[in-house]
């Protein structure tokens, strides 16, 4: 007889009615009265566990089972009994329980509720708790939904490099990669002695390589880890995070915004459908406004407004902002939320920012003051994606790079793309952990990635 996954029981319990099965998993809780007990078991295949009923007259090791601690591993043979009148629609009447390994009081996860701070200290165990089980199961399904969305649309998934020699953000916030024994020797280290024979870094973005690929495949996306060495200890920053970066040839900013809106609706409605138990858990125990916020995204057309128009609207409320705005100032989180929550009450794209506020690669508008960028703002969180049409004109790119003190030779191949069949193209970036926070209601980014990397924190 083969072990049945608990997920299979939940999927189609009628199929198992009165049948004998074997399950195996870890004890969530166990209590008994000396003759008769209940054991809640989870094998990780489903957010929901199962209730096992065990009694002294049916199993040989009743006393050992009754004493089982949270986290112990068991195998159980038993019969499925449907209990439509109860909270759980079925339970298992145990005929045999084998204790695979019993935990003792040293086991850090007990039945009681633990703080998120405590659980962060034991990142290798926290996926066993209900909350993190739900978070990381949603993370997995969300990743799949993104792959599915872009695959269906004919996008090519490209793996851009992690180790890079492009110092494309000035180097100050990049991790360096080295093969030299930097802590063991007292000497001047030379790039020429590296395995790669040069300075290398951990990439902060796959966009530039992604643009090269979009010039070959038309529609591409990257999805992988990227890195920022910044010393920011906030609830919203990680030094290592997963990044989605689609890039599409022959697409203007309008097309890009349509693509983003379609993707957001696809993944959010998809996750509500694929993970109902996990999402209900979040809506009940993490944030009671969650479903309202998510439905707001699914049900509404996203608004669109230019930066210039947004500033006009925001200025009327300058008295109430910590940072009053005028044309040329950054739109900060308080303004983003005011726009999306108070003015539009739905997601809103802000477009055409002053060129000084944005990266060199954004397409310059005819006014020579603004660029064809778009940030997507969500009620409740602010910016979730940043995108733009890219500058495709070689000369204009040269000019802006000079203005921004970037060296052309560092970007030789990127510049060449503007010589070799250059076409209109656009792309955006989505921080995967940021959208996961939005979808789960979790407010600390450390709690949506398995092993977070933040300043002074790199366990495992």
Site residues for its own copies, 273-302, by CB under 8 A, read: none
Q: How far apart are CA 314 and CA 3, in angstroms?
A: 60
Site for its own copies in 201-220 (CB under 8 A): 202, 208-209, 212-219
Tell me whether residue 107 or residue 321 sits nearer to its own copies (CB atom).
107
Nearest to 385 by CA among 234, 262, 230: 262
> Binding to its own copies by residue 43, rule CB under 8 A?
yes
Report, in Å, the least distance between residue 453 CB and its own copies: 5
Which member of 93, 178, 300, 308 binds its own copies (CB under 8 A)?
Answer: 178
Binders of its own copies among residues 144 to 163 (CB under 8 A) are 144, 147, 151, 154, 156-163
Among 40, 200, 385, 388, binds its own copies (CB under 8 A): 200
**Got the DSSP string for 289-349?**
THHHHHHHHHHSPPEEEEHHHHHHHHHTTGGG-SS---TTS---HHHHHIIIIIISSS-EE
Task: Kindly state the smallest distance separating residue 369's Cβ from its own copies, in Å.
Answer: 26
- Of 223-262, binders to its own copies (CB under 8 A) are 224-225, 227, 229, 231, 239-240, 242, 249-250
Interface residue with its own copies, options 38, 79, 136, 291 (CB under 8 A): 136
Residue 189 in contact with its own copies, rule: CB under 8 A: yes
Token pair, residue 306, equals 């230019």
Closer residue to its own copies (CB): 118 or 189: 189
State in angstroms the smallest separation of the CB of 214 from its own copies. 8
Residues 92-131, interacting with its own copies (CB under 8 A): 100-101, 103, 106-108, 124-125, 127-128
C-alpha distances (whole Å) from 32 to each of 55, 94, 96, 158, 405 are 9, 14, 16, 55, 72
Which of 32, 71, 387, 431 is the binder for its own copies (CB under 8 A)? 71
From the list 323, 313, 321, 319, the residue with the least C-alpha distance to 343 is: 313
Residue whose C-alpha is closest to residue 425's, from 209, 158, 211, 149? 211
Q: Does 81 bind its own copies (CB under 8 A)?
A: no
Smallest separation, CB 220 to its own copies (Å): 8
Choose one: 171-179, 304-312, 318-326, 376-384; the region binding its own copies (CB under 8 A). 171-179
Q: Applying CB under 8 A, which part among 29-37, 58-66, 186-194, 322-330 lies near its own copies? A: 186-194
Q: Which two tokens stand for residue 378?
A: 């969500």
Do 14 and 55 meet the contact criterion of CB atoms below 8 Å apart?
no
Residues touching its own copies, count (CB under 8 A): 108
- Give the residue with the Cβ less far from its own copies, 89 or 455: 455
Site for its own copies in 324-353 (CB under 8 A): none
Binder of its own copies out of 3, 17, 111, 288 (CB under 8 A): 3
End-to-end Cα distance, the chain: 37
Supply the Cα-derived Rg of the chain in whole angstroms: 27
Residue (167 or 334) nearer to its own copies, CB: 167
Contacts 24+ apart (CB under 8 A), 291-299: 293/378, 293/379, 293/380, 293/438, 294/268, 294/439, 296/345, 296/346, 296/347, 296/379, 297/264, 297/265, 297/268, 297/346, 297/347, 297/378, 298/265, 298/268, 298/269, 298/272
Quickly tell me which residue has 């978070």 as its tokens: 135
Identify residues 400-439 at the interface with its own copies (CB under 8 A). Answer: 413, 416-417, 419-424
Contact residue for its own copies among 166, 283, 351, 370 (CB under 8 A) = 166
Nearer to its own copies, 113 or 420 (CB): 420
DSSP result, 263-279: HHHHHHHHHHHH-HHHH
- Residue 103 CB, shortest distance to its own copies, in Å, is 6
Place of tokens 């060129």: 355
């Amino acid at each position: 007889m083969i072990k049945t996954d608990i997920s299979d029981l939940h999927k189609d319990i009628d199929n198992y009615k009165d049948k004998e099965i074997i399950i195996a998993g870890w004890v969530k809780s166990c209590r008994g009265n000396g003759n008769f007990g209940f054991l809640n078991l989870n094998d990780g295949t489903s957010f929901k566990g199962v209730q096992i009923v065990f009694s002294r007259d049916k199993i040989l090791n009743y006393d050992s089972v009754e004493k089982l601690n949270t986290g112990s591993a068991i195998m159980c043979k038993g019969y499925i009994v449907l209990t439509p009148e109860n909270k759980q629609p079925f339970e298992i009447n145990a005929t045999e329980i084998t204790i695979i390994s019993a935990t003792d009081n040293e086991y850090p996860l007990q039945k009681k509720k633990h703080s998120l701070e405590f659980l962060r200290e034991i990142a290798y165990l926290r996926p066993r708790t209900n909350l993190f089980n739900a978070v990381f199961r949603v993370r997995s399904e969300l990743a799949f939904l993104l792959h599915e969305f872009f695959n269906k649309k004919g996008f090519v998934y490209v793996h851009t490099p992690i180790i890079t020699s492009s110092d494309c953000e000035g180097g100050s916030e990049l991790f360096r990669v080295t093969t030299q024994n930097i802590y063991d020797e007292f000497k001047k280290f030379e790039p020429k002695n590296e395995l790669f024979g040069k300075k290398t870094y951990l990439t902060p973005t796959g966009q530039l390589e992604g643009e090269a690929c979009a010039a070959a495949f038309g529609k591409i996306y990257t999805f992988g880890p990227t890195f920022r060495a910044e010393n920011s200890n906030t609830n919203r920053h990680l030094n290592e995070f997963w990044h989605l970066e689609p890039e599409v040839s022959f697409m203007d900013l309008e097309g890009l915004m349509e693509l983003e809106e379609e993707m957001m609706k696809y993944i959010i409605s998809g996750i509500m459908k694929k993970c109902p138990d996990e999402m209900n858990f979040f809506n009940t125990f993490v944030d009671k406004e969650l479903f309202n916020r998510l439905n707001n995204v699914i049900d509404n057309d996203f608004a669109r407004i230019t930066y210039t128009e947004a500033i006009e609207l925001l200025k009327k409320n300058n008295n109430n902002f910590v940072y009053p705005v005028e044309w040329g100032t950054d739109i900060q989180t308080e303004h983003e939320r005011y726009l999306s929550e108070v003015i539009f009450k739905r997601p809103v794209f802000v477009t055409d920012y002053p060129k000084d506020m944005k990266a060199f690669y954004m397409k310059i508008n005819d006014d020579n003051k603004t660029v064809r960028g778009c940030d997507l703002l969500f009620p409740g969180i602010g910016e979730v994606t940043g995108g733009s049409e890219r500058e495709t004109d070689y000369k204009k790119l040269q000019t802006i790079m000079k203005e921004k003190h970037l060296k052309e030779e560092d970007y030789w191949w990127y510049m060449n793309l503007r010589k070799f069949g250059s076409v209109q193209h656009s792309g955006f970036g989505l921080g995967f952990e940021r959208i996961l926070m939005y979808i789960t209601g979790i407010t600390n980014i450390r709690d949506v990635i398995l092993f977070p990397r933040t300043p002074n924190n790199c366990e495992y």
